[in-house]
A and B are shown apart, each in its own frame.
Chain A
Amino acid sequence: MNPLAQIGRVVLHLLAETGRLAFFLKNALLIGLTPRWYPRQILIQMIRMGYNSLPVIGLTAFFTGGVLALQIYIGGTRFNAESLVASIVALGITRELGPVLAGLMVAGRVSAAIAAELGTMRVTEQIDALVTLSTNPYRYLVGPRIVAGVITLPLLVIIADIIGIMGGYIVGTRSLGFNAGAYLKNTVDFLEMQDITSGLIKAAVFGFIIALMGCYHGFNSRGGAQGVGRATTNAVVSASILILAANYVLTSLLFAD
């Protein structure tokens, strides 16, 4: 096969996909986020995304905080800087690992679930049925999920921050021999409000990405069970990649000031 044709096909596909996503984004924002609103749907989605993600988020954050404490301690002893453990755990969790890991875990859970649900609704004509019942699917399905994502992810990250720091504290005091009071003092003294808010801003953006990717791939799924399966995979992969990319952009922006 002609390699040029191959490259051309990939580029065209990429451009077409970008265009489709741009149109979807436009509809999601201009139709999905304008009245009328469906508060009931937003609440249902928040419970599904947030409450049901708590165990996953809690466990992830706890072990990450613990590992962070161990690693920093090992690195710190080489420079006689073991005392930094508490503050670096707090900084690492709030600025970076809390939002990113929570984002990735929720992307796996929620993007997939949204894509599977909307994809099934698409292939079984339920989305068409919504339209025939005078209900705009962008407003009824997409809007509430995006709003729920943007609200829920920061809430989850607050919890991840707390549990992550607690994980570090438990490892630090139980197995690394830190004094509990000193550990907490170091955590609180070096942590600034901006560390936390920058993490929460990231989380809101990640929530948006997760909901958008789930809805986009679900909405555009074609061709029965196989199509829904493909949509689910694509949603998780694209959400995860976009989260990591957005994380870099946001970090460089938030560091700038």
Chain B
Amino acid sequence: MSEKQTHAAPPPDDIHVELKGLRKAFGDKVVLDGIDLKVRRRSSLVVIGGSGTGKSVMLKCLIGLLEPDGGQVIIDGEDTTHLRGRARDRVMRKFGMLFQSAALFDSLPVWENVAFGLIQGRGMRRRQAREKAIETLAKVGLGPEVADLYPAELSGGMQKRVGLARAIAHQPDIILFDEPTTGLDPIMAAIIDELIVSTVRDVGATAISITHDMASVRRIADEVAMIYKGRIIWHGPVSEIDHSGNPYVDQFIHGRAEGPIKMDVSQK
């Protein structure tokens, strides 16, 4: 499956995901202006930044939901930027993603949501996939009685759990989290964060998250990168975030209205 990996020299420092000079614009509006980022295997990187700084677009370019205008996305040493068709499918199987609003399929019961990637993506039999789904639901703390409910019957926190179960059911190498705690109360947010940490460790995956919730950052990150105006302006271990010496980072983590970051409130 991954011939390229055996031919290529092992990447230095075991870089799992790399973004090189990533650019993306929508019309005249430049959203990503040369993103450079390296993520080590089995580490947890959290990208922080205000609304509209390009976090979501970066994540979508990384997984292939959007095609960047320039630059490269390199996964396991393979340039995946412009892959299509079967090659894209093969790379997509390495990924799991938890969406901001969970994005559960509301026409399907919970267990089919969790097993979706197994049934449709991998062609697993429904009966076997159901067992696997119930097993995965248990990992995120949900009992088998939830399996036959529909997403609309669940609370926000439970939907996030099901979304997490769906993201990990096919044992991905890389899991992306799009604002995992948005819309949850602080206690539920902490619970989901802990769940993220434990499941990512359990699956042995690399985690890349975007958020602006600083409490969440401190709980789930090994490393933190800050994005501002479509560029990465700081990247370092989470332990250094309080002494980054970067005025933009300082302003963001303390949530000050005054500072070098000028919020553009005229737009939108």
**Which residues of A lie under 8 Å from residue B103 when comparing CB positions?**
124-126, 128-129
The verdict on B92 contacting chain A, using a C-beta distance below 8 Å, is: yes
Please indicate the chain A residues that have their CB under 8 angstroms from the CB of B100 in the complex. 125
Q: Does B117 contact A (CB under 8 A)?
A: yes
By secondary structure, the A interface counts as helix
Per the bound structure, the CA–CA distance linking A130 and B99 in Å amounts to 11
Interface string of B78-94 (1 = CB under 8 A from A): 00000000000100110
Q: Which residue of B lies closest to A121 (CB)?
A: B105
Q: Which of A91-132 contact B (CB under 8 A)?
A: 117, 121, 124-126, 128-132
Q: In the complex the two chains form, is A128's CB within 8 Å of B60's CB? A: yes
Known: A128-B60, A128-B65. Contact between A133 and B99, CB under 8 A? no
Q: Mark B25-54, 1 if CB is under 8 A from A, else 0.
A: 000000000000000000000000000000
CB A134 to nearest CB in B, in angstroms, measures: 3
Which residues in window 74-131 of B have CB below 8 A to A?
Answer: 89, 92-93, 95-97, 99-101, 103-107, 116-117, 120-122
| Contact assessment for B121 and A135 in the assembled complex, using a CB-CB cutoff below 8 Å | yes
Cβ 8 A contact of B92, one of A38, A126, A132: A132
Q: How far is the CA of A124 from the CA of B65 in the complex (A)?
A: 14
Q: For the complex, what is the distance from the CA of A131 to the CA of B120, rounded to whole Å?
A: 11
Tell me the complex Cα distance, A140–B112, Å. 15
Give B92 Cβ to nearest chain A Cβ, in Å.
5
Interface members, chain A 113-161 (any B CB < 8 Å)? 117, 121, 124-126, 128-135, 140
- Chain B residue contacts of A121, Cβ below 8 A: 105
Contact of A133 (CB < 8 Å), options: B60, B106, B107, B121: B121
Interface positions, chain B 44-70, Cβ under 8 Å from A, are 60, 63-65
Asked if A134 and B101 sit within 8 Å, CB to CB, the answer is no
Q: How far is the CA of A148 from the CA of B72 in the complex (A)?
A: 40
| Residues of A contacting B101 in the complex (Cβ-Cβ under 8 angstroms) | 124-125
Contacts known (A135-B116, A140-B120); A129 close to B99, Cβ less than 8 A: yes
Does B121 lie within 8 Å of A126, measured CB to CB?
A: no
Assess whether A134 is in contact with B120, with CB atoms less than 8 Å apart: yes
> Inside 8 A of A132's CB, which chain B residues have their CB?
63, 65, 92, 95-97
CA distance A135 to B119 in the complex (A): 10
The smallest beta-carbon distance between A40 and chain B, in angstroms, is: 10
Q: Chain A residues near B104 (CB, 8 Å)?
A: 126, 129
CB pair A129 B105 closer than 8 Å: yes
**Please, which residues of chain A bring their CB within 8 A of the CB of B122?**
134
CB distance from A131 to the nearest CB of B (A): 6
What's the Cα separation between A99 and B71 when bound, in Å? 52
Shortest distance from the beta carbon of A113 to any chain B beta carbon, whole Å: 12
Interface presence of B161 (CB below 8 A): no
Residues of B within 8 A of A (CB): 60, 63-65, 89, 92-93, 95-97, 99-101, 103-107, 116-117, 120-122, 166, 170
Which 5 pairs across A and B sit closest by C-beta, in order of nearness? A134-B121, A133-B117, A125-B103, A129-B103, A132-B97
**27 cross-chain CB contacts under 8 A:** A121-B105, A124-B101, A124-B103, A125-B103, A126-B103, A126-B104, A126-B105, A128-B60, A128-B65, A129-B103, A129-B105, A129-B166, A131-B65, A131-B92, A132-B92, A132-B95, A132-B96, A132-B97, A133-B116, A133-B120, A133-B121, A133-B166, A134-B120, A134-B121, A134-B122, A135-B121, A140-B120
